[in-house]
Amino acid sequence: MRLKSAIPMLAVCFALTLSGCEIIDDITNPNNPPHELSCEPTGPTHVVPLPLIDFMNDPYNLLGVAITGDVLCADVAYSGGCTNHTFSLLANNELMEGGTPELQAYLVHNSNGDLCEAMIHAKTGIDLKPLKEHLRTLTGKESGSVILHVNGTGSTHSVVYSY
């Protein structure tokens, strides 16, 4: 008899525990498809020498990338929901030569210590203007194209950036 009366109390305690985390976009629910989020630039690009040995990167999934103008739009998924997460791009300061020059870059995620467990699906924008200026200086050309290899946690997506 005591077990039956404890179940509702446990359910209330569990619900109160979960209420501290706001679910922004739960991709585990098939009735809640990911909504289109703005891909305005919110994160910076840093041009640095690679290989990078030590940089902070919290786990996430890089689902895809696209470029519109000077903004890299990254489709990402990560656990959290209680604090703002930020993304930035670390780009190599040297080109890999070939037909079309290529450049390695790393999309870096900072969860800001968020320990909540909602699965968030979002788009994040990265301002590529610092990379554009670096490429102009490096190549001596006002315009051109580069294949940008964007490395995420466990995956790489490539996209052509015309600057």
Domain of residue 128, CATH code? 2.60.40.2370
Tens digits of per-residue pLDDT, 63-76? 999 999 999 999 99
d(CA 15, CA 8): 11
In the Cβ-directed half-sphere of 60, how many Cα atoms lie within 13 Å?
30
Tens digits of per-residue pLDDT, 113-156? 999 999 999 999 999 999 999 999 999 999 999 999 999 988 99
More confident residue, 30 or 2: 2
**CA distance readout (Å), 76 to 23, 25, 63, 111:** 15, 12, 6, 13
pLDDT of 28 strictly over 80: no
Cα-flanking dihedrals φ and ψ of residue 7, to 5°? Answer: -60, -50
- Range of 93's domain? 2-162
In this predicted structure, what is the pLDDT of residue 97? 80
What does the mean pLDDT of the chain come to?
A: 78
Cβ distance 48 to 92 under 8 Å? yes
How many domains does the chain fold into?
1
pLDDT bin (cut points 50, 70, 90) of residue 99 is: confident
d(CA 53, CA 99): 28
In this predicted structure, what is the pLDDT of residue 12? 29
Q: How many other C-beta atoms lie within 10 A of the C-beta of residue 28?
A: 9
- Could you tell me which residues come within 8 angstroms of residue 110 by beta carbon, excluding any fewer than 6 positions away? 56, 58, 85, 86, 87, 88
More confident residue, 123 or 30: 123
- Percent of the chain exceeding pLDDT 70 equals 73
pLDDT of 18 strictly over 90: no
